[in-house]
Chain A
Amino acid sequence: MNPVNYLYLAGLLFTIGATGVLIRRNAIVVFMCVELMLNACNLAFVTFSRLHGNLDGQVFAFFTMVVAAAEVVVGLAIIVSLFRTRHSASVDDASLMKL
């Protein structure tokens, strides 16, 4: 199977993730879309690693996974506390950070 197809898939997943981040209001869904974008990137890394025949991309993929895991911990904690105080998980409700 042609490895370039994986790159198309990665692009598709990234686009879906980005679209989700931009158009969805629910913080959990936005969060999942961010994860989708990260994994699309991971897929691209691994594919390029395969294409070029070295391991650099795979190493980066692992790094991304570790960072994503840490980010999930923090992000979920923020979302939970936000939900507790405002009884809503809509990102548009948390719009106080402006002049």
Chain B
Amino acid sequence: MEKLIALLIAAPLLGAAVLLVGGRRLDRVGHWIGTLLSTASFVFGLLLFADLLGRNAEHRTLTQHLWSWIPVEGFQADVTLRLDQLSMTFVLLITGVGSLIHLYSVGYMEHDERRRRFFGYLNLFLAAMLLLVLADNYLLLYVGWEGVGLASYLLIGFWQHKPSAATAAKKAFLVNRVGDMGLSIAIMLMFTTFGSFAFGPVFGHVGDASQGKLTAIGLMLLLAACGKSAQVPLQSWLGDAMEGPTPVSALIHAATMVTAGVYLIVRSAAVFNAAPDAQLAVTVVGAVTLLFGAIVGCAKDDIKKALAGSTMSQIGYMVLAAGLGPIGYVFAIMHLVTHGFFKAGLFLGAGSVMHGMNDEVDMRKYGGLRKYMPVTFVTFGLGYLAIIGFPGLSGFFSKDKIIEAAFAKGGTEGWILGGAALLGAAITAFYMTRVMLMTFFGEERWKNRPTRSPGAPSAEPAAEHRGEHAEPHPHESPKVMTIPMIVLAVGSVLGGGFFSIGDRFLHWLEPVTGHSEGHSPVSAGEVTAATMVCLVIGVAIAWAQYGRKPVPAVAPRGSLLTRAARRDLLQDDFNHVVLVRGGEHLTRSLVYLDHSLVDGVVNGTAAGFGGLSGRLRRFQNGFARSYAVSMFGGAALLVAATLLMRAV
């Protein structure tokens, strides 16, 4: 059975190779090849899952040694794959949700002439992510980590003819590089501390390392996770990444990429358990991000950006849970899986809405779409109910557990973290209700739209002729797009209950991550009640603002916080002022130093020799007799010197 593990990665990798090397002749079948190979990987995953289920809980770790990668004395890097319960969960999520997104993209990208290439990149993304979760050492994980970064760059910038997409891709890549530096430093620290970077030796010798080194490794791993998972302070790329095609957003947010950071933290549980300071940093990052993302999500009118803020916030929940230690690891992963379902569903739904609305993303130009897109409405609605934690749906179970675990942290920290998580739940309910109401309810704001703003009646007549701003005709998407949405909606509804009832997920994952019950100052029932109250408050406020009153077609000015949140809480401005300006000043001063000091020395030397040579040149005047004088003078000097030496 171990032999199958490599095939998990090989199938999508083969797909990527065939599609990208195969060229135009594969244009007609390329998308089906990609979907087939991704599904094949899912089937292999199911086979392995069945195999694992047939074993005892202690024997559920399979390893497959492929080859020795860098065999050097004292430095042994192997290509070894490790499949345990944690990797298995990720494999099923990545390949399952990934395959559904592949299928959806067949319809979504139908009119894109570069569809084959798109599927090649999607397969590459899956292969890189699978390598990341299956690696048995940090160096191999790093390969997958970088592969994910590359694939995300290619996909976010897929419509590279749009300057905004090209910039967004570059931004995502650069911000991720900062996180990657963290991971590579963590690997180096591990190597110097433990003499190895394979999971087994590192986790086995955690007890021997000093507290300072463990904290350093933990913080560097956290930095890496922040980059990939879009956590504060490396979160700025996620909103811009919406420039990619919508299936890409679904893939990045649900199955691959942003989940990598959570995986890294949970996988390195042994390190974090031994470094409480690093753990505290993880919880703080998680709590800050979950509020940050939620606030941003409230202010965005772009449906995809609102969902992106929501992802940031939900990943914040997972990071928070992962930072809580053994009381939270299982719930972090559980929320990750349920989030994978409903967030993929929501993004695919958003893509379906855009598909029917001439690629319009502004929710202020939607409204009343439930009549025109019944399937999208129902699936999106179920995803919505799941994410806000409606009782019985998957988000209810997984998010509740995280909030409970946050309180169980104990002490003042527990109250602060738990309070932040509760507040986050209320804001989640608010912004998701807002998205729902603005898109599917209310008046049909896309009808009889005055040309652009009323102030400028004939703003862009040419655009009208091109049909770009013509009144859209909302319609339901084809079956190939709605089927994945339906499957994901079913997952969003049933997943949480299936995992939670009887603690199935807990028993499955416990052998890898470990689990302990905290001593919560509040009972589980009280937490659930508080969450419900928050949920109702959030929904009620949103309904009062967007359900009862008509939604203005032009965004009102809004309060200071709203305006800041529209600009992603000034994250780009912050980066600009601190990093860009700071970097500019640094480089300018370095350039000045280079010009004045380094160039001064070099140029001064050159000028000195130049002047000297200019003087010496005068001796070569072309007159034979003056040369003769120098010769005689020289000879006379030699004779005099010889005589002098003789005399001495």
Contacts and interface: CB of A to CB of B under 8 A. Distances in A.
Interface string A1-40: 0000000000000000010011101000010000000000
A92 interface: yes
Contacts of B29: none
A30 B624 CA distance: 11
Contact of A91 (B617, B620, B625, B632): B625
B628 A96 contact: no
Contacts of B628: 21-22
A91 B624 contact: yes
Q: Which label, helix, strand, loop or mixed, suits the secondary structure of the B interface?
A: helix
Interface string A87-99: 0000110111111
Contacts of A91: 623-625
Interface residues of A, number: 14
B562 to A, nearest CB: 76
B605 interface: no
Contact of A22 (B620, B622, B625): B625
Contact of A95 (B617, B623, B629): B623
B632 A22 contact: yes
A92 B623 contact: yes
B448 interface: no
A25 B626 CA distance: 12
Contact of B622 (A18, A25, A30, A95): A95
B56 interface: no
B621 interface: yes
Contacts of A96: 622
A98 B620 CA distance: 6
A99 B625 CA distance: 17
Interface string A70-99: 000000000000000000000110111111
Interface string B605-624: 00000000000010011111
B613 to A, nearest CB: 10
Interface in B369-409: none
Nearest to A94: B624
A30 B623 CA distance: 13
A64 B554 CA distance: 109
Contact of A99 (B620, B624, B629, B632): B620
A25 B629 CA distance: 14
A25 B624 CA distance: 10
Interface in B19-70: none
A18 B623 contact: no
Contacts of B632: 18, 22
Contacts of B625: 21-23, 25, 30, 91-92
Nearest to B632: A18
A39 to B, nearest CB: 18
Contacts of B617: 99
Interface string B514-546: 000000000000000000000000000000000
Nearest to B623: A95
B154 to A, nearest CB: 60
Interface string A44-59: 0000000000000000
A22 B624 contact: no
Interface string B484-508: 0000000000000000000000000
A49 B185 CA distance: 86
B634 to A, nearest CB: 13
B622 A97 contact: yes
A34 B253 CA distance: 97
B101 to A, nearest CB: 75
Contacts of A98: 620-622
A14 B632 CA distance: 12
A22 B625 CA distance: 6
B639 to A, nearest CB: 12
B623 to A, nearest CB: 5
Nearest to A97: B622
Contacts of A18: 632
Contacts of B620: 98-99
A22 B621 contact: no
Contacts of B623: 91-92, 95
A92 B632 CA distance: 18
A98 B625 CA distance: 13
A96 B620 CA distance: 10
A18 B624 CA distance: 13
Contact of B629 (A22, A30, A94): A22
B611 to A, nearest CB: 15
B617 to A, nearest CB: 6
Contacts of A23: 625
B645 to A, nearest CB: 21
Contacts of B624: 30, 91-92, 94-95
Nearest to A23: B625
Contacts of A25: 625
Contacts of B629: 22
Nearest to B620: A98
Nearest to A24: B625
B609 to A, nearest CB: 16
B199 to A, nearest CB: 73
B621 to A, nearest CB: 6
Contacts of A30: 624-625
A16 B632 CA distance: 13
Most buried by A among B617, B620, B622, B629: B622
A39 B617 CA distance: 34
B573 to A, nearest CB: 61
B533 to A, nearest CB: 95
10 contacts: A18-B632, A21-B625, A21-B628, A22-B629, A91-B623, A91-B625, A92-B624, A95-B624, A96-B622, A98-B620
Given A21-B628, A22-B625, A96-B622, 13 more contacts: A18-B632, A21-B625, A22-B628, A22-B629, A23-B625, A92-B623, A92-B624, A92-B625, A95-B621, A95-B622, A95-B623, A98-B621, A98-B622
Interface of A: 18, 21-23, 25, 30, 91-92, 94-99
Q: Which 4 A-B pairs have the closest CB atoms?
A: A98-B622, A95-B622, A91-B624, A95-B623
